[in-house]
Chain A
Amino acid sequence: MSKLLEQAQGFIQMLPHARALGMELIDLKDAQAKIIMPYDEKLIGDPDTRVIHGGAVSALMDTCCGAAVMAHPMRPVSTATIDLRIDYMRAATPGQTITTTATCHHATRSVAFVRAVAVDEDADHPVATATGAFTVEISA
């Protein structure tokens, strides 16, 4: 396991909200991050279908996009979300883990642009996609 991934996993574990939602960072390299979130009944948004709430998917997308910015080669010291748009393509299948992959496809000295996709076990049909802009803080 790379040192960067190990450090980043420690960092994600320190974020109380990410930990509370059961997120786990499984890959981090070259402005790309992959985070999984196992199914949990406390995350249910629709009691009829037992599908998890869009808000939990938003939290996962936001965390993953932020991690992708931090993994950009310019090595920002911190980042914050400016805006994040999520498109919900289909309901995630109840009981299945959600995997999100985010890519920071462009970054300037002040702004990073990120795209992300979330899938369940059927990886060919995305559950949701996200587009966001993030602040970039580079150490002086």
Chain B
Amino acid sequence: MNRPRPEPIQQVKKRRDDALTALVQSVPYIQFLGVTFDRRGDELTAQLNYYENLIGNPLLPALHGGATAAFLEITAMVTLNWSVLWQRIENGELDAQDMAQGNLPRHPKTIDFSVDYLRSGLPRDAYARARVWRSGRRYASVHVEAWQDNKERLLAQATGHFLMPQSGDVGHK
């Protein structure tokens, strides 16, 4: 068997982590809300890191429904973008350092987003994973679920539709 030697693990991890970091850090609102991402291969888990400004009702206290919705939308959008860019990051067409300089492909645009609130959000971290159910040339459909302590007891779920960037769009790449 004549197959090319696999890349060293550090190189593979660095390329993927640097590209993800560049993608996430390019969006001010993700930083403002305090959302971070964990990566296992191409699978992403988003984390909403609790801080006082996420509270809606200070008497309960509970997370603001808007913070939960924004967390779900960020998770859906980043997961969709990541799944579309993955191949181009892997084959070296997109360079992580270049991405960190702000040379990022255009983001998809949200067409609609529908949130189903299942439980009141506790004043602690929340987690979310999205699944891209369809990703076409123009439209994508993404489902996302968020939980806190117990993954079987969802905090909220949402479905969103996105318009994919077209090659003719004005942008960096």
Contacts and interface: CB of A to CB of B under 8 A. Distances in A.
Interface of A: 14-21, 41-48, 52-56, 58-63, 66, 80-88, 91
Contacts of A87: 111-112
Nearest to A15: B56
B29 A58 contact: no
Given A17-B53, A83-B114, A84-B65, 7 more contacts: A45-B29, A48-B106, A55-B71, A58-B69, A62-B64, A81-B115, A82-B117
B65 A45 contact: no
Given A15-B58, A17-B56, A55-B74, A43 B28 contact: yes
A60 B70 CA distance: 10
A48 B53 contact: no
B120 A84 contact: no
Nearest to B169: A48
Main secondary structure of the interface of B (DSSP, over half): mixed
B55 A17 contact: yes
A126 to B, nearest CB: 13
B91 to A, nearest CB: 23
A88 B65 contact: no
Interface string B29-63: 11111000000000000000000111111100001
A43 B116 contact: no
Interface residues of B, number: 41
Nearest to B74: A55
13 contacts: A15-B57, A15-B64, A16-B54, A41-B28, A42-B29, A59-B66, A63-B64, A80-B117, A83-B114, A84-B65, A85-B115, A88-B109, A88-B113
B27 A60 contact: no
B104 interface: yes
A21 B32 CA distance: 10
A41 B29 CA distance: 8
A82 B120 CA distance: 10
B145 interface: no
> Which of B28, B54, B107 has its CB near the most chain A CB atoms (within 10 A)?
B28
A48 B114 contact: no
Closest 4 pairs between A and B when the two form their complex, measured CB to CB: A59-B66, A55-B70, A17-B64, A53-B29
A92 B149 CA distance: 36
B112 A88 contact: yes
Given A15-B57, A16-B58, A44 B29 contact: yes
Given A45-B29, A80-B65, A84-B65, A55 B117 contact: no
B112 A86 contact: yes
Nearest to A87: B112
Interface in B88-128: 102, 104, 106-107, 109-117, 120
A133 B29 CA distance: 26
